[in-house]
Structures are given as structure tokens and as C-alpha cells.
Amino acid sequence: MGIHLPSLLPQMQEIGQALYERSLQVSAMIPKATNALHSTAELDHSELQSRIKKAGNRWPGAIPTEEALNLTFPPPTAPQSLHVIGADGSQIYPDRHAAAFYYLINIGSIVVSHGSGKAPTIEHESRLFFELEDLYDEADHPVQNAYVNLRRDVAEMKTLAERAETLAGEQTLAILDNSLLLWMALQTGGSISRETDRTLQQYLKLLDRLRSTKTGLAGFIDRPRSVSVLALIHLAGLPDDQINQETLRLTPFRGLTDRAIFTKLLPPGHRSALFISASPLNRDFRTAGHEVHFFYLNTDAKGTVVRVEIPSWVAQDPELLNRVHAGILKDCQTTGGFPYTLVRAHELAVIPPQERAAFEDMLQRTLLGHDLRPTQSQKALTKQLTGQRKQHRL
Amino acid sequence: MPESPKMIGRVTRCSTRGFVGAMQISENALPVFGSLCQAEAQGGRSYVVGLVYDISITDDQFARQLAALDEVPQEQIADGQLNRQVPVEFSALAVGFHDDDGFHQSLPPQPPLTLASVFSMVPNDAVDFTSELHFLQMILNAPQLPVDELLATSLRLSAQARPEEERERFLLQAGREVARLLAQDLTRLENILRGLRAKE
């Protein structure tokens, strides 16, 4: 039957009212949070670092750098010619109800050479994973979707590294439509921890390759929900003797995001100060020389504020940092504050339903050609049958 | 050296009365309204001769967003024209076929199959095919097509495929045939003859 709309009507009223009230609360918090950011910026750097140390290893905040927290940085001049590489991926997850147990990763990438007037170069790469070692973890459990996501993230970074190597020596920016931190490595449930660790090491080696090509690497996060700078502001406002896990949790900025305060603070084209991610995952990145830094950036006149993550070797090289800042702005000019290369990389990577159906049909015919009788589970079959039922249009 | 046929796309849907082909956008390879093309059929044993009567480029939201801007960088225009899988289709009316016995001006025995290669027709073949004018009746009988414009343009292009000294004679002969076919419809005849004269 689908969604029973009549039973949701009362909740529709509630959600509308709740979101309206929350928006009022959030709006009221913004001036307070902005003032708190300015106050935090006036604190002595060593005092702030001492508080961060007290907050412990699990504190999910933003670690300040030498740049004053409340400073904004205007757009640098973009290089006359700049190659911008974008990569994105999509996948078909393993499905035990399907005719065969496999998964597929599809990567799309593009290099736009700004200033050349030439058509960008595009590439697609699709890979099917069907060997037992691909499909089962060390404990013989079928791999989870999070692990497929992890492998997709690594494949995206591999594509960026390979394409950057072909442009070594030229002004290049590589943009990933994701966080640089391999978050999925924390979400694979630990059941394939050795494999996860191996994958993380592969990923870090790809960052080594990008560093050696002197590519400006950036992870682009649109509409970020992160609250790490707010966590820092909250920590800075706590009395020194009251810093503990409970007080750290009781933030007065609940419901607010970093993006909300930087939307007020950043003029179009400006970036925020640099921060370092305090995520536990960043320790592996720091050890490998790729500690993830980030800044917020207002990418267009409408006030689209995004989070940009960069490795330490970009953060510490003014030329690379400016290239990332100016290059992203240049790449966002025609696409409403989101990079053109990522729009196109996504378009190249996405698997539309009709292509997926064509692929599954091809797979079934291949199996039949090998005297196998591919059958879907009864559950999958009945879902297809009921899904084809025609319904009255609302 | 004789010109070799240029591949202009592949068949995506077809019937014995015509076919639709898709292609990458490239202005050089774009077929011309009223031009002749050939699509492989019967496993390569024959070619269906088509007359291009429509070329369409479907838009999408992304193209519309870029089109609305004051200025679009040249790289993005080139990307949209050469790389993006924008559905570009051309439709051709079947006006004949070619087999071991040469050209025939009647509906083909079988249509081309999906993904069959479609080639532009080289001038020598166009001259050969249009040496007979029975195909004009097939154009006039086609429903829901811009028949008058199609017929006039097709004859003009066929004349251009000939040596300069033969063009006028061909157009006169074609004009007479059109007059015979449209003897009962003088308004249309006048329209087509004006079309033939317009860009002579």
C-alpha cells in the first residue's frame, strides 16, 4: 500500500510546528555562538590547547591552528590555467536475495582544464567483486554495505591519484566529494578489522602519491552537519575545573551547526581559519603525515557554506592552500556553489535503475550460458510482483 | 580519391518505414535535414536508405541551469557538447535500399537492427540513388512530416551532389516530376517549386 498518508496527517502538523520552533531557537543561538567564537579567539593559544588536552582523546571538537579562529580570508587569485580533477563513486551492494552474490563499484572521474577552452577528459571504471575473499570477511560473514562503501572510497582516491600523476608538474587540484577521513573505516563493525586496516593503509599510500605530485587535494562536504567548532567554543567557555565528559556533553548550542555561524561570518568567497579534526581516526592520518585539517568556505553569493578538508601538507603550503581555496571557487562559479567537476563526476558514476536492470539481465544470461539457473529469493520475487501493482494516482 | 561514408550514429529504434539513430554531438558529424543516409540491414547484405527529416537534442535540468547563465566557460560548453550523454537523435524516413542489384526506391524488405551503424551517403551514391525519382512519391505519402520542406531540401542537396553543369537539368527534371505528382494540388506544388528556386 505504501505510506498511509491519513495516519501521518497529525504528525505533519507536529513536524511543521517543531521545525518552526527549532528554527527560531537556532536563530536565537547564532549571535551567542558568534560572540563566543570571538571570545574564544582572544584566549591564549596555550590555554586553549591545555583545555583541549583536558577534554581527552574522545572529545569530538576542532583543534585550532595558528590562524585566529574568527579571521576570514578573502579569495586568492586563481591560477590562469588549472586542472581540476573530480572523482565520485556509486555501488550495487551485495544482496543475498539476488540471482547471484556479488557487489559492484562504479567510479566516474573528470579533469577540467580551466583556461584551456578544451573539452574535459572523462573516465568511467566499473568493477565487479565476486570472489569468495571479496564477499566474506575473516570470520566468514558476508561483507556489510559499510565495507563496500570503504572500498568505494579507496577506489575514488585511487582514481584521483592516478589522474593527478598524469598531470604531475602542472597546477592541479583534486576534489573528492566526501570527507578525506575514511569514516567508513570506523563503521565496518570491526568484524573485518584486519582487512579494514589494510584498506586504510592503502588509502594513506594513495595520499602519499598525491603529495608527491604536489596536487592540491581537498575533500568537499556540502551542507555539513559538523559541530566541531561549536564543541571548541563550548569547551573554551567552561570553567577550567569543570571540564569533564558530562559538562562537555551539555552544550548550549544543541541543534546549531558550525555552518550556521560561518554563514553569518564569511563574506562570499572567504574561507574561515584552519582547524584540525580531533577525530580518533585522524591519529592514523597524522602518523602517516596526512593529518586532516579543514576550513569553512562561502562558495557563492547566496551564502553556500561548505566544509573543505585538506591534508596537512596542503594546509602548511601557502601556494597549495591558496590553490585549493581559489580553485574550488572557480570550479563552483556556474553550478550554484557546488563544484562543476563533482556534478559531472557524480553524473558519470551514478548507476541509473535502467542500467542496473540491464546489467542484472546480462548477468542472468551469462549464468544461464554456464548451465546455472539463476533464481532470486522468493522474497525478492514477491516484492517484484507486488511492486508492479498499479495504484491510483493521488 | 572518392569520399568514404562517414558514420553518423547507431540505430536505436526502427521499422520498415524508417529509423531513429542516436549519436554523440559533434557539429561536423551532425547529419543535415533532407540529407540521405544508409543503415546496415540483413546482416550487412543490404543498406536501408533513409532521408533525415528530424534532428533533436533533448535538454535536461543541468543544461538548462548552465544555459541560463550570462557566461559559461568554454571548457563547460565543450563538455556539454562532446562528453555528456545528452540524447541526440535523428529520424530518417526509409526511401529505398541497396543490395547486390544496386539501389531500389521502395520500402526495404527488413529494417536495420538496433545499434546498426548509420552512415552519411557519399555524393556518388546520392547521385546514383536520385537518378530515379520514384522516392518523391514516398516522401509525399509520409504522414505527419514537414513533407514540402523535406522534399525541396532533399532535391536541392541531390542537385549539389552533382557536377555544376548537371544541376539545373536535374532540378528541372525533378520539378517536372513533382508537378506530375501534385497536379491536383497546385498550392503545395507552388510552395515546393518556390523552395527549389529559393536557394538554387
Chain B residues within 8 A (CB-CB) of chain A? Answer: 62, 65-66, 69, 72-76, 78-79, 81-84
Both B104 and B56 in one domain: the answer is yes
Contacting residues of A for B82, CB less than 8 Å apart: 119
Residues B39 and B50 sit within 8 Å (Cβ to Cβ):
yes
Tens digit of pLDDT for each residue in A257-315?
999 999 999 999 999 999 999 988 898 999 999 999 999 999 987 889 999 999 999 99
- Determine which of A272-276, A358-362, A385-389, B156-160 has the lowest per-residue pLDDT on average: A385-389
pLDDT band at A189 (very low <50, low <70, confident <90, very high): low
Residue with the three cell numbers 535502467: A354
Q: What is the pLDDT of residue A13?
A: 87
Both B163 and B73 in one domain: the answer is no
Both B162 and B75 in one domain: the answer is no
Instruction: Tell whether the model's pLDDT for residue B198 goes beyond 80.
Output: no
- Determine which of A33-47, A267-281, B18-32, B72-86 has the lowest per-residue pLDDT on average: B18-32
Q: What is the pLDDT of residue A348?
A: 93
Both B184 and B134 in one domain: the answer is yes
Distance from CA of B79 to the nearest CA of A (A): 5
Give the number of domains in chain B. Answer: 2
Both B40 and B12 in one domain: the answer is yes
Both B143 and B97 in one domain: the answer is no
Q: What is the pLDDT of residue B50?
A: 96
Q: What is the pLDDT of residue A382?
A: 73
DSSP helix/strand/coil, A251? coil
- Residue-number span of the structural domain to which B143 is assigned: 130-200
Q: Which residue in B160, B162, B157, B194 sits closest to B175, CA to CA?
A: B194
Please answer yes or no on whether A112 and B66 come within 8 Å at the CB atom: no
Tens digit of pLDDT for each residue in B23-58?
766 666 678 899 999 999 988 889 999 999 999 887
Residue of chain A nearest B65, judged by CA positions: A335
> Cα(first)–Cα(last) distance of chain B, in Å?
27
Please answer yes or no on whether A117 and B79 come within 8 Å at the CB atom: no
Give me chain A's average pLDDT, please. 90
Determine the Cα–Cα distance for residues B26 and B37; give it in Å rounded to an integer: 17
Please answer yes or no on whether B75 and A334 come within 8 Å at the CB atom: no
Both B149 and B110 in one domain: the answer is no
Report the pLDDT averaged over residues A49-60.
Answer: 90
Cα A365-A371-A375 angle, rounded to 5 deg: 60
Both B158 and B91 in one domain: the answer is no
- Which of B76, B78, B81 is the closest to A340 by Cβ? B76
Cell output for A287 = 602518523
Instruction: Tell whether the model's pLDDT for residue A188 goes beyond 70.
Output: no
Instruction: Tell whether the model's pLDDT for residue B16 goes beyond 70.
Output: yes
Domain A82-349 -> CATH class:
alpha beta
Instruction: Tell whether the model's pLDDT for residue A394 goes beyond 60.
Output: no
Both B155 and B83 in one domain: the answer is no
Q: Which of A81, A85, A110, A333 to mutate to test the interface with B (most CBs of B within 10 A)?
A: A333
Q: What is the pLDDT of residue A183?
A: 73
Tens digit of pLDDT for each residue in B154-170?
999 999 999 999 999 99
Both B107 and B138 in one domain: the answer is no
Contacting residues of A for B66, CB less than 8 Å apart: 334
Contacting residues of B for A116, CB less than 8 Å apart: 75
